[in-house]
């Protein structure tokens, strides 16, 4: 599992060559970029990657990509597992 705390680190990971089966991102991030930006960047490299957004609040207009879901925080682990299954992810690297 790869993990990034900022958009910049996520961008580096997305370009690292590591296989990525699913992108899970919070909509609100601690820098100038937001989860919508991360997903759009991920899709430029991995056009079919499933995306799950999590948020408790966002003033931003939603910009979800296709094959994505949004979960409201707090979300139960079972809801996350169900979302992963709904997006057709059968294994995670």
Q: What is the CATH number of the domain that holds 12?
A: 3.40.50.2300
Query: What backbone torsions phi and psi does residue 2 show, to the nearest 5 degrees?
Result: -100, 145
Residue 92, pLDDT score: 67
**What mean pLDDT, rounded, does the chain reach?**
86
Residue 58, pLDDT score: 65
For residue 91, being part of any structural domain is answered with no
Which of left, alpha, beta for 22 (phi over 0: left; psi -120 to 50: alpha)?
Answer: beta
- Look-up: residue for tokens 């990509």? 65
Please state, in angstroms and as integers, the Cα–Cα distance from residue 88 to each residue in 9, 35, 51, 56, 84, following that order: 26, 21, 11, 24, 7
* pLDDT tens per residue, range 4-16: 888 888 888 888 8
Range of the domain at 51: 7-86
Residue 60, pLDDT score: 67
């Amino acid at each position: 599992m790869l993990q990034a705390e900022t958009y910049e680190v996520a961008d580096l990971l997305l370009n690292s060559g590591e296989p990525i089966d699913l992108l899970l991102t919070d909509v609100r991030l601690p820098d100038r970029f937001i989860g919508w930006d991360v997903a759009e960047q991920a899709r430029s490299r991995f056009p079919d990657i499933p995306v799950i957004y999590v948020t408790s609040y966002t003033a931003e207009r939603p910009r979800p990509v296709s094959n994505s879901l949004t979960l409201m925080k707090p979300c139960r682990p079972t809801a996350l597992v169900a979302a992963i299954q709904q997006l057709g992810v059968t294994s995670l690297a």
